[in-house]
Every structure is written in structure tokens, then in C-alpha cells.
Amino acid sequence: MMNAPRRTAPFRLAALAAGAALLALTGCAGFEYRENICGGGEYPVLAVGSSGSACVADAEEPPAGYARYPEGKVPKQVDDKWDVYWNTHTLDENGKLIDIAG
């Protein structure tokens, strides 16, 4: 005895199309990509007296003219709380916090 053909393929195709359309319209709502300040094996350093920064290999000390960020105030990702903060603040040559927003 032969079984009747299944007619679920059109419904599966419609469900897949609806899911794809939903993702396209919402832009994967709830997911936000954040770029890391430095790559693996590196840490960020702050340019003394300006808003510049750089990345240094974990095993190295900051180069001349750069300093480590104060503990607890290290930017991790682009535009995170500390990355934005350090755009208008820096450290002077004595390690004192200064506002450069002017």
C-alpha cells in the first residue's frame, strides 16, 4: 500500500522565508557588535597629555610618552564607558588626572 505524498514542504519553505524576513527587518535586534580596543595578548595604554592611545604587548611596558590606564578605568571596547571618558581626559607626566575637553 502506498502512502499519500506529504505536503509539508511548502509550509517549511514559507516558515523559513518568514524567519529570514523577520531577521532582515529587525537587524538581529538585541545583538550589538562591539569592537575590542586591543587584540588578544595586548593591553591599552594612554598617551600622556593627550587623548591618544595605543596597544602594547602584554609582556612589554608602555613606550615613552604613554602610561597604563588607572586601575578600574581601562577601556575594553570601542565606545564603552571608559573609552568615551578618556576622549576628554588624560594623565599628565606626574600621573595627575586632567580634563582636556577645554
Query: Domain of 58?
Result: 42-99
For residue range 77-98, list pLDDT tens digits in order: 999 999 999 999 999 999 999 9
User: Between the CA atoms of 62, 67, 73 and 75, what dihedral angle is there, to the nearest 10 degrees?
Assistant: -50
Give domain status of residue 92, yes or no. Answer: yes
Q: Which residues pair with 18 in a beta bridge?
A: none
pLDDT in tens, 8-21: 666 676 677 776 66
| 15 falls within a domain | no
The answer to the question of residue 93 being in a domain is yes
Cβ of 37: how many Cβ atoms within 10 Å? 20
Q: What's the domain count of the chain?
A: 1
Is position 61 within any domain? yes
pLDDT at 28 (0 to 100): 56
At 35-78, the pLDDT tens digits run 999 999 999 999 999 989 999 999 999 999 999 999 999 999 99
Q: Which helix (H) or strand (E) holds 46?
A: strand 42-47
**Average pLDDT over all residues of the chain:** 85
For residue 55, being part of any structural domain is answered with yes
Residue 27's pLDDT band, with cuts at 50, 70 and 90, is low
User: What pLDDT sits at residue 80?
Assistant: 96
Whether residue 21 lies inside any domain: the answer is no
